């Protein structure tokens, strides 16, 4: 039996002051136990406005501080993360229902983000001086101003951090609205930023549900919005930003990601990569494989049989269990029930379950993984099912499998498991996605590379290593110490 948790009082951080929200009451529930762990009121419109004013006021002093000082504060934050790794990992596991081992890797990714963001800032948006006669030509970068960051629930520390750290290093000030499903992680993280010495107003925390998000996105003065979340919300924000070419909008959204398997000698290794791609974090990664293409062949049959057998044995268990599970709970009992419904909907269209996804307790977020053969199903809607449900398509020709893999409005990640380099060459040339892997899982993208998708997965503003690009705008300057006449005047001009 788990111990009852103390309910943490939910607060906003506005201009360096922790304060109660004045909007609607909401709660965060640990989906592994159904206990309320955090409770507070959302930020109302007036508080959103106050936070904006604080961020605007802080902007000039923050952006005009030497870069070395901003980096020093980011590095002090990394130190805070290091010193508090276990506590923050436990907060993540509690707020999301994720296993403790995965939550620890999330904190490690947050720590790694600091050095990577400093390097990316310097390499992608640093200062370049080019020689020119009688003057100097510079390429420099400036921060946008006040930007909003909206985060998802699946990586409530790492993914908002992937926008916030590069934004702050570049000199922006930030209004951060975390997912309403993971407010505790955000509160804990902001405490660490404060302990790192971040000045008041530079990073403001606005907790709340959709109404708070709308109030922030509607602020006329914000200079940009960096969003990681569902495709639906991202599309709404894109519509809202239409007609505002001066505001920068970076969208990282979902996927309906394909993984194709063809002629792999090491069947166990193929099964490993399929499971890591499909079921890690209970399928709650935007990069997870949702559609698995397996050849109609003896090799394909062997891989599918081994996959079904390994999937049935996958350990699902409590986040803090001593014997750690492969994955723990989904974000909520509602999300878990949603996956059961998605499976039933696909079955109604002719899908045949090879392994049934089951919700273990209607009050909790635990589900076992599912595999469903949709080879003979009616056309399925092009949807992202954000959980551990893998659709299998049997194919006979690689070209048509690639065409079907591309038959989606999304384009986040895609992979090929195949021993033939020629097959990969064909796959790489035809597949449309922002992450394309060969003989490796399609989850676990590196922060040291660009991260993002095309189509309905994003708007070509890749994050991770390329986040530096949307956190600052380039300025071209030609400069000379004194005004002086050129050696040759233009024709027709006499002075």
Ligand X SMILES: O=C(O)CCC(=O)N[C@@H](CCC(=O)O)C(=O)O
Ligand Y SMILES: NC(=O)C1=CN([C@@H]2O[C@H](COP(=O)(O)OP(=O)(O)OC[C@H]3O[C@@H](n4cnc5c(N)ncnc54)[C@H](O)[C@@H]3O)[C@@H](O)[C@H]2O)C=CC1
Given ligand Y, ligand X, none, residue 384, with its beta carbon under 5 to 8 Å by kind, binds ligand Y
Residue 350 annotated as binding site:
no
Given ligand Y, ligand X, none, residue 180, with its beta carbon under 5 to 8 Å by kind, binds ligand Y
Choose one: 56-64, 76-84, 228-236, 366-374; the region binding ligand Y (CB under 6 A): 228-236
Cβ 113 to ligand X shortest distance, Å: 6
Cβ 88 to ligand Y shortest distance, Å: 19
Cβ 111 to ligand Y shortest distance, Å: 19
Residues in contact with ligand Y, shown as a per-residue x/- string from 271 to 310 under the rule CB under 6 A:
---------------x------------------------
In angstroms, rounded to a whole number, what is the distance separating the alpha carbons of residues 238 and 311? 38
| Residue 233 interacting with ligand Y (CB under 6 A) | yes
Site for ligand Y in 246-265 (CB under 6 A): 252-254
| Residue 44 interacting with ligand Y (CB under 6 A) | no
Query: CB within 8 A of 439, min separation 6: which ones?
Result: 273, 416, 417, 418
* CA angle 109–110–115, rounded 5-degree value: 90
* Sign of the CA dihedral with 382 first, then 281, 330, and 203 last: negative
Given ligand X, ligand Y, none, residue 443, with its beta carbon under 5 to 8 Å by kind, binds ligand X
Given ligand Y, ligand X, none, residue 447, with its beta carbon under 5 to 8 Å by kind, binds ligand X
| Residue 236 interacting with ligand Y (CB under 6 A) | yes
Of 162 and 370, which has the nearer Cβ to ligand X? Answer: 162
Is there a contact between 412 and 453 (Cβ–Cβ < 8 Å)?
yes
Is there a contact between 33 and 25 (Cβ–Cβ < 8 Å)?
no
Query: Residue 147's beta-bridge partner residues?
Result: 174, 224
| Residue 150 interacting with ligand Y (CB under 6 A) | yes
In angstroms, rounded to a whole number, what is the distance separating the alpha carbons of residues 157 and 300? 38
Q: Long-range contacts for 90-93 (Cβ within 8 Å, ≥24 apart)?
A: 90/320, 91/184, 91/185, 91/188, 92/156, 92/157, 92/185, 93/319, 93/320, 93/328
Residue in the block written with tokens 């110490």: 481
Choose one: 173-181, 341-349, 364-372, 487-495; the region binding ligand Y (CB under 6 A): 173-181
Choose one: 9-17, 174-182, 296-304, 479-487; the region binding ligand Y (CB under 6 A): 174-182
Residue in the block written with tokens 């004045």: 22
Of 45 and 383, which has the nearer Cβ to ligand X? Answer: 383
Is there a contact between 382 and 231 (Cβ–Cβ < 8 Å)?
no
Among the listed residues 240, 236, 214, 226, the one whose alpha carbon sits nearest the alpha carbon of residue 44: 214
| Residue 200 interacting with ligand Y (CB under 6 A) | no
In angstroms, rounded to a whole number, what is the distance separating the alpha carbons of residues 212 and 218? 10
Site for ligand Y in 375-434 (CB under 6 A): 384, 386, 412
- Write out the H or E segment, with its range, that includes residue 71: helix 67-83
In angstroms, rounded to a whole number, what is the distance separating the alpha carbons of residues 88 and 85? 5
| Residue 156 interacting with ligand Y (CB under 6 A) | no
Given ligand Y, ligand X, none, residue 464, with its beta carbon under 5 to 8 Å by kind, binds ligand X
Phi-psi region of 183 (alpha: psi -120 to 50; beta: other; left: phi over 0): alpha
Of 14 and 174, which has the nearer Cβ to ligand X? Answer: 174
Angstrom CA distances, 477 to 127, 154, 275, 411, 485, stand at 11, 42, 52, 37, 19
Task: Note the maximum CA span of the chain.
Answer: 91
Cβ 191 to ligand Y shortest distance, Å: 19
Which member of 102, 106, 180, 286 is catalytic? 286
Among the listed residues 271, 283, 299, the one whose alpha carbon sits nearest the alpha carbon of residue 423: 299
Given ligand Y, ligand X, none, residue 162, with its beta carbon under 5 to 8 Å by kind, binds ligand X
| Residue 159 interacting with ligand Y (CB under 6 A) | yes
Which member of 106, 252, 295, 384 is catalytic? 252
Residue 230 annotated as binding site:
yes
DSSP string spanning 183-213? HHHHHHHHHHHHHTTPPTTSEEE---SHHHH
Choose one: 60-68, 81-89, 163-171, 176-184; the region binding ligand Y (CB under 6 A): 176-184
Joined together, the tokens standing for residue 383 give: 């949807």
| Residue 447 interacting with ligand Y (CB under 6 A) | no
The residues binding ligand X (CB under 6 A) are 154-155, 158-159, 162, 285-287, 443-445, 447, 451, 463-464
Given ligand X, ligand Y, none, residue 51, with its beta carbon under 5 to 8 Å by kind, binds none
Is there a contact between 382 and 393 (Cβ–Cβ < 8 Å)?
no
Q: Is 471 a catalytic residue?
A: no
Which residues contribute to the annotated binding site? 229-234
Active site residues: 252, 286
Interface positions with ligand Y (CB under 6 A): 150-154, 159, 177-180, 210, 213-214, 217, 228-230, 233, 236, 252-254, 286, 384, 386, 412
Extract the annotated binding site for NAD(+). Answer: 229-234
């Amino acid at each position: 039996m788990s111990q009852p948790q103390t309910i943490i009082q939910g607060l906003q951080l506005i201009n360096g002051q922790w304060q109660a929200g004045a909007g609607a009451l909401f709660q965060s529930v640990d989906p592994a136990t159904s206990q309320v762990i955090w409770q507070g009121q959302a930020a109302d419109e007036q508080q959103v406005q106050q936070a904006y004013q604080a961020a605007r006021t802080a902007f000039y002093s923050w952006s005009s501080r030497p870069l070395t000082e901003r980096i020093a504060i980011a590095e002090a934050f990394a130190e805070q993360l290091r010193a508090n790794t276990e506590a923050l990992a436990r907060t993540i596991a509690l707020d999301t229902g994720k296993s403790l081992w995965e939550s620890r890797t999330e904190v490690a990714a947050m720590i790694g983000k600091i050095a990577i963001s400093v390097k990316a800032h310097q390499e992608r948006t640093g200062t370049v001086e080019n020689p020119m006669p009688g003057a100097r030509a510079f390429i420099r970068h400036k921060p946008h101003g006040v930007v909003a960051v909206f985060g998802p629930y699946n990586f409530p520390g790492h993914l908002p951090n992937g926008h916030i750290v590069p934004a702050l290093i570049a000199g922006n000030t930030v209004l951060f609205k975390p997912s309403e499903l993971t407010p505790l992680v955000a509160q804990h993280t902001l405490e660490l930023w404060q302990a790192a010495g971040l000045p008041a107003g530079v990073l403001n925390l606005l907790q709340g549900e959709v109404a708070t998000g709308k109030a922030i996105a509607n602020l006329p003065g914000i200079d940009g919005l960096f969003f990681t979340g569902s495709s639906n919300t991202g599309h709404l924000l894109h519509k809202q930003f239409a007609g505002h070419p001066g505001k920068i909008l970076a969208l990282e959204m979902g996927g309906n990601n394909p993984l194709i398997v063809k002629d792999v000698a090491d069947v166990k290794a193929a099964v490993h990569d399929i499971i890591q791609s499909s079921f890690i974090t209970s399928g709650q990664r935007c990069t997870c494989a949702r559609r698995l293409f397996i050849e109609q062949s003896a090799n394909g049959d062997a891989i599918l049989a081994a996959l079904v057998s390994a999937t049935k044995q996958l350990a699902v268990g409590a986040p803090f269990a001593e014997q750690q599970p492969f994955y723990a709970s989904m974000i909520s009992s509602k999300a878990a029930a949603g996956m059961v419904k998605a499976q039933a909907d696909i079955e109604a269209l002719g899908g045949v379950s090879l392994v049934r996804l089951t919700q273990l307790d209607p009050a909790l977020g635990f589900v076992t993984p599912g595999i469903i053969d949709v080879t003979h199903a009616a056309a399925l809607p092009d949807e992202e099912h954000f959980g551990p449900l893998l659709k299998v398509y049997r194919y006979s020709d690689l070209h048509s499998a690639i065409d079907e893999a591309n038959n989606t409005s999304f384009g986040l990640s895609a992979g090929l498991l195949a021993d033939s380099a020629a097959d990969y060459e064909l796959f790489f040339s035809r597949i449309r996605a922002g992450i394309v892997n060969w003989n490796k899982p399609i989850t676990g993208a590196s922060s040291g590379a660009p991260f993002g998708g095309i189509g309905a997965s994003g708007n070509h503003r890749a994050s991770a290593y390329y986040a530096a690009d949307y956190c600052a705008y380039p300025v071209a300057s030609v400069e000379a110490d004194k005004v002086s006449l050129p050696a040759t005047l233009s024709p027709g001009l006499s002075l």
